Structure formats: C-alpha cells, structure tokens
Structure 1
Amino acid sequence: MPFLSSVGDVTELYLGTEGVELDESNPENRFRLDWLTTVEEALDEVAAEPTRPLVITATGKFFTNGLDTDHILAAPKALPEYLDRVHALFSKVLTLPVPTVAAINGHAFGAGAMLALCADYRLMRAERGFWSLPEVALGMPFPLGMSSLLRTRLPDQVATEAMLTARRYSAADAHAGGIVEEAVGIDSLLARAREVAAERAPLAGPNLGEVKRNLRQPLIADLQIAYPRTVL
C-alpha cells in the first residue's frame, strides 16, 4: 500500500508498497478502493502540517496504471461514485498547500497519467516508460472533470493528440510536448525531484493552497461535478 517517507526537508509519497519493488496484489499501482483510501489519508497528513514539499513517485515498472478496471467491471453501478472519488483525489493534489513534484518512474497510463499532471512540476524517467491516455482505444469516455484537467494542464495540440489517438509518449516526447518539465535518467530522478521540491520549500503553507485554489478554480469546479448516476 502507498506510504509516506522523509528525506531531508522533503516528504515523499510512494504509490507502491514499502519494502518491495512490486506489490504482488497491485503491481501496477491501480486506483483500488483501499489504495485510494491510503493515498487520501497520506495527502491529508501532508496538508495538516504544510511545511514540507511533497514528491510523488513509485518503484518498479509503473508510476500508476490508473483506474481499477476489475472493480469497474465487477461493480458497474458503482462507477459514478468511484469516478467522483478519483476526481476528488485529483482536486486534493491540485490544491495541496505545499509544492508538489511528480517523479514519474515508469508507465503512467490513463488516470495515472492524469494524477501526474496534478503535480506542480513533473519529471519523467528517460530510459523507459510511457505517459499515455489509452481511453479512446479502450472505448472509454473522458468525464467532464478529466477532460477539463487535460485541457487545462496540457497544451491544446498535445491534449488533442493524446486524447484522440492514445499515443504513448516517451520521456523525450513528453518533455518536447510540455507534458513534463524534465526527462531525467533513473539514477538521478529522485535526487532531481528532491532538489526541485527543496527549492520551493519556503513557499509551503496555507497561502500556497489558496493561490492554487484560485488559480485552478474553474478546473476544481468541473472536478466537483458529480458523474451522472444514469450513465452505467
């Protein structure tokens, strides 16, 4: 399960499980219900004492592969509530009162790719791994909140290509397209993420959270719109 760690003046949220490279029960760090609960609680802990910047990362092959499709297929009537919860997670990251840096260590697909976009600054492993929105290839729509997130956080040309073609972006392509700020070798990924986070540490605090909420108010409003209960 995801966990918090500290290195110097930086807090780190790992999306995997402490002590293992891959969690056998959730090796792709998908948004399972228990996984969501643990991440939500970790973010609440960070927000409760907003003095340290946050790096979000993982270990293994995946940053996160996004939605728990097994849960969606097993409980289709629960899809609206599930998507509302995912949208709430995005809002929580977008408005954290501390600087946030995503260190994308591996594949970031679907909602996992969107989670990375919620960070203030993004770095991606240069050697391997893709950032991708496969929804159109899977016959899945983008809810309003997710569409607004992508439209707001990406250049229009890139959002259009990513959403309509399911293209897989390497780190170099993601950097060129403005999806991430830096492509970094795996040996330097966390160190560089910590450096960026530490540079912004003096900005942490309630005022930063207020600035983020005002800056992203239209996006947050769209993320707060409940997913239609008639769409199953």
Structure 2
Amino acid sequence: MPNSTKLEIIQHNQGRLIEVKMNFNSKNTYDLEGLQLILDTLHKIKSMESIRAMILSSNQESYFSNGLEPTLFLDATHKEVHQAVSLLMDASQAFYFFPYPTLSLIQGHCMAAGAVFAIFSDYRFMVDKAARIGFPEVAIGLNFPSFPAKVLSHIVGHNHARDLLYSGKLWKADQALASGLIDEIYSKDTIRTKALEFSTKLSNLPLGSARGIKKSLLDFHRHGIEQLIEWDTNALVETILSRDGQEGFRSILESRKPQF
C-alpha cells in the first residue's frame, strides 16, 4: 500500500499489524484532505487479507492530534462547514467500527476531535509526562456530538463524562488512567515498544476471534446510529456557524481567550 507524506502506513508482524502514523502538520490538526485521507486509508486497510489489528499513532512528538483545523471553519459557508463536519463523522465512524482491534498510541497532546479518535479505539496507551487529553469544545463555544459523548460515558461513567465535557478540562495521564479513559501509562522512551508488543499479541489472534469479538463489543452501538449522527452533524454545524463558534475559532488563531 503506498504511503502518503501525511499518513504513513507501516506494516508489522508480516502485515497482521498495521500502524497508521499521522503527519498532517506540527499539531496534527484535521483539514478536509486529512479527514478524507483517514477515511480512504481505513477502507483500504480493512480489506487487507493479513490484517488482525491496527495502531493509530503520530509522527509529531508533542501532539497526537489537536483536533480540527480552525481555518477550516472561520468565515466559511454553511455548505463548507456541513461538508467538513460530515466528513469528520464519516472518518470517525469508520475508525470506531473498524472490524479489528485498534490501539491509539498517545505520545503527545490529544484534544477535541483527536481525543474522539482516541476514545473510538479499543485501547489507549499514553505517555507519562507533558501530554494532556480532553474535550475543550465548550471553551470555544461548540456543541459536543452525542455519539462520542455516549462512548465516553460508557468508558468513564456518566459523572466523569459530564464533568469533562462541561468543564473542558484537560487531564494528565494519571488522571486519565484513574478514570479509565486510558489503559496504560508509559515513559516517552518505552511507550512505542510497549504499544507494539501489546498490539502484536492482538494481531496474533485468529481471524474469527479478532473480527468476532470486535463485532460483539460494538454491536450495541450500531442501532439508531444514523439518527444520532444526523442530529450530531446538524447541531455541530449550527454551533460552528454561530457567533460564539466563530469567535472561538478566531480566538485560537489569535492566541487569546474568546469573548462570549
């Protein structure tokens, strides 16, 4: 499979384990090209006969992903925003419903849409220092979609999910581990080795087990998803186009606090 300079594909364990390494920009923010690339890559990878497991990682030392690219939405039209949000929904769903076990290797900051991709993986390993994980959408006046909110609540419980989303707080690795938001903490020097060791074990599962268990774990979320995604898309588009949403994105680009 050909690699892109923005999304590197690495095969491990004779192709049974596929690593998708993000390299979009210094903060790994998602623009239209990046989201389409993720979506297309996931569709190609899941058809590979050898695959049994996948790692999502980053080529940037300080960031897993900082979420959506602010310039994508500032002063954009309704059509442009709807296109971008719909693509985000498609790419994140493709990752969540990927038919084999997945692990997010979080070696740097993991925010907003980047954190959504992280919680949509089956396992999350996080570096022990400097990195933060969270959902700061409220800080820039945006709605948080109901489907990832449902997944987040399933992982950490309603109260933790409530507090994370209403406060927009960013958690250190030890806080995330205590709540169950991540599974393991490792040092900067060992996290990649540990992630590869663990994922290699997953990739040695028989095909029927790898696919069957993943399906069993996800099927309860399949029902009613179309209605959830439709509402999520429209609500997020609405808040992005609102005065508060536009001020929020502008404040990011201008490195200041938003004025709501």
Q: Which amino acid aligns with 1:49?
A: M
Q: Give deviations 1:51-78, integer Å, cap 9, x for gaps.
A: 2311111032110011121111142412
Counterpart amino acid of 1:5?
I
**3-state SS of 1:73 partner:** coil
Structure 1 gaps, min length 5: 17-22
Counterpart AA for 1:114: V
Per-residue deviation at 1:220? 3.9
What is the match of residue 56 of structure 2?
A: 56
Q: Does 1:224 align with 2:225?
A: no
Q: Which amino acid aligns with 1:37?
A: Q
Separation in structure 1 between the aligned mates of residue 197 and residue 85 of structure 2, nearest angstrom: 34
The residue that corresponds to 1:27 in the other structure is 26
Amino acid at match of 2:91: L
Cα deviation, 1:137-174, whole Å, max 9, x if unaligned, reads: 11111133343333334322221111011111111111
Q: For each residue in 1:68-123, what CA deviation from the matched residue of structure 2 results, as whole angstroms up to 9, or x when unmatched?
A: 21111142412223222212222111111111011101000111111100100111
List runs of 5+ in structure 2 lacking aligned partners. 1-5, 242-260
Give the equivalent residue in structure 2 for 1:172: 174
Residue of 140, 154, 157 corresponding to 2:159: 157
The aligned residue for residue 215 of structure 1 is: 220
* Residue of structure 2 in register with 1:20 after alignment: none
**Contact 1:10 / 1:197 at 8 angstroms: preserved in 2?**
yes
Superposed, 1:23-172 pairs within 5 Å as 26-49=25-48, 51-59=51-59, 60-77=61-78, 78-172=80-174
Other structure's SS at 2:125 match? strand
Please, which moves more after superposition, 31-40 or 110-119? 31-40
Q: TM-score, normalised by structure 2?
A: 0.78
C-alpha contact (below 8 Å) 1:14/1:58 kept by paired residues: yes
Q: Deviation of residue 197 (structure 1)?
A: 1.4
Deviation at 1:30, TM superposition (A): 0.8
Deviation, 1:45, is 1.8
Q: Which amino acid aligns with 1:228?
A: N
Q: Greater shift after overlay, 6-15 or 196-205?
A: 196-205
Off by >3 Å, runs of 4+ in structure 1: 203-210, 218-224
2:24 aligned with 1:10:
no
Aligned amino acid, residue 2 of structure 1: L
CA distance, structure 1, for counterparts of residue 185 and residue 228 of structure 2: 29
Q: Distance in 1 between matches of 2:62 and 2:227?
A: 32
Aligned-partner Cα distance in 1 for 2:165–2:103: 23
Decide which moves more: 190-199 or 171-180: 190-199
CA contact (8 A) 1:13 1:55 kept: yes
Aligned residue pairs, count: 224
Letter in 1 for 2:197: E
Return the TM-score normalized by structure 1. Answer: 0.87
Bigger radius of gyration among the two? 2
Distance 2:102 2:33 in 1: 23
Cα distance in structure 2, aligned partners of 1:55 and 1:203: 18
Deviation for aligned residue 1:48: 0.7
- Aligned 8 A contact 1:88 1:224 in 2: no
